[in-house]
C-alpha cells in the first residue's frame, strides 16, 4: 500500500455493523476478486472485492473473510483466510502478508492459510443453519461475467443443498451506505489530496495543453501524496467533448476560448473522492460561459439545500429538475412552449441535463445504497448537476461530495474553489 495504514478499529466497527444484521446461527463468507488475465502471461491490476475490503482492509488476492458470530469457539467467530507465503512466488511477485501484519491491518486475530481451510470450513458450516454469501450486486452493473463470488455460490449450494441461504448484498446495501465518522475521515483525506491536485491544475492549464498532460499532472500529484491513484478513469474533456459523460480518451488539445471539464478524484485508504470542475482554458470565462457556469452553480447549491435526511433520491431529482427548467428558460435554452408541451416521461430539461444529480460515495465511486428509501444521516453523496449544450459545443458540470447529518449536510469539499471568480483569480496567479 502507498497510503498510511488505516486503524484496524475502522474495519472492526464495519464488521460489527454487518454482524448485527445477520440471522442467528448464520455463517457469512466473503471471497476475494479474481486476478484477471489481459494478454499472454500479463494480468490486469488486481482490485479487491469491495465488501471484503470494507470488512477487513485486506487488499491481497486469494483472501477470504468468514464471520460466524454464534460459533461456540470464540476463535472462529471472525476468521481471515490468506494464501500461504511462498518463497519462489515472492521472488517474482513480491511479499505476501504474514500473520502479524494481517492481524494489524484487519483486527482479525484468527488467520487460516487457504491450503488448510477445507476441513475447517466444513465443520463450521455443519454448525450453521444459514449460509450468507456475497454477490456483486449493483443496479448499474451490465457485465454478467461469472466471477469468483458466483462460482463460490455455485460450489457451496452444490455441497450444502439443505442449508438456508441469504444474500450478503441485501445487508451490505444498508450498512455500507451509512458511513462511520472513521470512514468519512478517510474520504476526507482522499478529498484533501484531490483539492491540492486541483489547485495545481489551475496553475498548469493554458491554451494548447493536451488533455493527457492534465491527466498526467493528476497522476503525479496523487501519487506524490500517497494516494493509490485515481479512484476512476479521469475525465479531461475540453470543448464539445465535455458533453460526453464518460469521456476518457483524453487525447485532444485544449484550445483558447474553450472550457475544460475535469472529473477526477483520488483513491486513498480504499475510499474515493469524486470532484468535477469546469474551468476556462484561457483563464477567463466569456460572458456566455460565465452565465452557463453560474446557472450550473446555482443548481449545485440548490441541490445541496435539498439533500438532507427524509427526502428520497427520486423526489430530490424531480425538485432539481424543476429548478433546472427555470434556469434553462433564463438561459434561453428552453421556451415556455417546450415546457408546456413536454413529455412527463422525458421532460424538456433533460435535453440539457441528461444524468442523475447524485450518487452514493465510499469504497466504490458509485457506492452501495438505496435509491428508493428516504436518505439517512451518515450517507455520503456526490452533488453533480451539469448543463450540456450541443448547439454551443459546451459542457459544464460542478461536483462536490457531502456527508448527510441529522441537521442537513456537510460539504466535504467546501475548501475547493468553486465560484467563477475564485477560479479566474487562481488561474491568473
What is the residue-wise DSSP string for 31-86? EPPPPPB-STT-BPPP---HHHHHHH----SS-EEEE-TT-SSGGGSEEEEEPPP-
Q: Which CATH superfamily is domain 8-175 in?
A: Creatinase/prolidase N-terminal domain (3.40.350.10)
pLDDT recorded at residue 90 = 87
Comparing C-alpha atoms, which of 396, 142, 404 is closest to residue 285?
A: 396
CB burial of residue 232 (10 Å; 0-12, 13-18, 19+): middle
Name the residue among 36, 134, 40, 116 with its Cα closest to residue 79.
Answer: 116
The residues, any chain, with a CB within 8 Å of residue 41's CB and separated by 6 or more, are none
Give, for all 429 residues of the chain, the pLDDT tens digit.
899 999 999 999 999 999 999 999 999 999 999 998 899 888 899 999 999 999 999 999 999 999 999 999 999 999 999 999 998 888 888 999 999 999 999 999 999 999 999 999 999 999 999 999 999 887 776 677 889 999 999 999 999 999 999 999 999 999 999 999 999 999 999 999 999 999 999 999 999 999 999 999 999 999 999 999 999 999 999 999 999 999 999 999 999 999 999 999 999 999 999 999 999 999 999 999 999 999 999 999 999 999 999 999 999 999 999 999 999 999 999 999 999 999 999 999 999 999 999 999 999 999 999 888 999 999 999 999 999 999 999 999 999 999 999 988 999 999 999 999 999 999 998
Q: Which three cell numbers stand for residue 14?
A: 464495519
- Pair 64, 81: CB distance under 8 Å: yes
**pTM for this prediction:** 0.96
**CA-derived radius of gyration, the chain:** 24
Domain with CATH 3.90.230.10 in the chain: 181-428
CB burial of residue 13 (10 Å; 0-12, 13-18, 19+): middle
Q: What is the CATH number of domain 181-428?
A: 3.90.230.10
Cα distances from 1 to residues 76, 269, 340, in angstroms, run 28, 8, 56
Nearest to 67 by CA among 102, 8, 104, 17: 17
Rounded Cα distance, 277 and 257, in Å: 16
- Indicate where the chain has its CATH 3.40.350.10 domain(s): 8-175
Cβ distance 266 to 193 under 8 Å?
A: yes
d(CA 217, CA 201): 7
Amino acid at each position: 500500500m502507498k497510503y498510511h495504514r488505516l486503524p484496524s478499529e475502522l474495519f472492526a466497527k464495519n464488521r460489527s455493523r454487518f454482524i448485527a444484521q445477520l440471522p442467528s446461527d448464520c455463517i457469512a463468507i466473503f471471497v476475494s476478486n479474481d486476478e484477471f488475465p489481459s494478454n499472454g502471461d500479463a494480468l490486469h491490476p488486481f482490485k479487491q472485492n469491495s465488501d471484503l475490503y470494507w470488512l477487513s482492509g485486506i487488499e491481497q488476492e486469494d483472501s477470504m473473510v468468514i464471520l460466524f458470530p454464534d460459533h461456540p469457539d470464540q476463535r472462529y467467530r471472525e476468521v481471515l483466510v490468506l494464501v500461504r507465503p511462498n518463497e519462489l512466488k515472492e521472488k517474482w511477485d513480491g511479499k505476501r502478508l504474514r500473520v502479524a501484519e494481517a492481524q494489524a491491518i484487519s483486527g482479525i486475530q484468527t488467520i487460516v492459510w487457504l491450503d488448510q481451510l477445507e476441513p475447517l470450513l466444513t465443520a463450521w458450516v455443519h454448525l450453521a443453519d444459514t449460509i450468507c454469501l456475497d454477490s456483486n450486486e449493483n443496479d448499474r452493473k451490465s457485465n454478467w461475467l461469472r466471477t469468483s463470488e458466483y462460482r463460490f455460490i455455485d460450489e457451496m449450494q452444490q455441497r450444502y443443498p439443505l442449508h438456508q441461504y441469504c444474500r450478503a448484498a441485501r445487508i451490505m446495501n444498508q450498512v455500507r451506505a451509512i458511513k462511520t465518522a472513521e470512514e468519512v475521515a478517510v474520504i476526507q483525506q482522499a478529498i484533501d489530496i484531490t483539492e491540492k491536485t486541483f489547485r495545481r491544475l489551475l496553475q498548469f492549464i493554458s491554451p494548447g495543453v493536451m488533455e493527457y498532460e492534465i491527466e498526467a499532472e493528476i497522476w503525479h500529484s496523487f501519487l506524490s501524496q500517497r494516494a493509490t491513484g485515481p479512484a476512476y478513469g479521469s475525465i479531461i474533456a475540453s470543448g464539445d467533448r465535455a458533453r460526453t459523460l464518460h469521456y476518457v480518451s483524453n487525447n485532444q488539445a485544449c484550445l483558447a476560448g474553450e472550457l475544460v471539464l475535469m472529473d477526477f478524484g483520488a483513491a486513498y485508504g480504499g475510499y474515493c473522492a469524486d470532484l468535477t470542475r469546469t474551468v476556462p482554458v484561457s483563464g477567463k470565462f466569456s460572458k456566455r460561459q460565465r452565465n452557463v457556469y453560474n446557472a450550473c452553480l446555482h443548481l449545485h447549491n440548490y441541490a445541496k439545500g435539498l439533500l438532507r435526511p427524509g427526502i428520497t433520491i427520486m423526489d430530490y431529482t424531480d425538485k432539481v429538475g424543476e429548478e433546472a427548467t427555470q434556469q434553462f428558460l433564463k438561459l434561453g435554452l428552453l421556451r415556455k412552449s417546450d415546457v408546456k408541451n413536454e413529455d412527463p416521461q422525458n421532460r424538456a430539461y433533460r435535453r440539457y441535463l441528461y444524468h442523475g444529480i447524485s450518487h452514493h460515495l465510499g469504497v466504490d465511486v458509485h457506492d452501495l445504497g438505496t435509491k428508493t428509501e428516504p436518505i439517512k444521516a451518515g450517507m455520503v453523496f456526490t452533488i453533480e448537476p451539469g448543463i450540456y449544450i450541443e448547439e454551443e459545443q459546451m459542457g459544464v458540470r460542478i461536483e462536490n461530495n457531502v456527508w448527510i447529518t441529522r441537521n442537513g449536510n456537510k460539504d466535504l469539499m467546501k475548501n475547493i474553489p468553486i465560484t467563477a471568480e475564485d477560479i479566474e483569480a487562481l488561474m491568473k496567479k
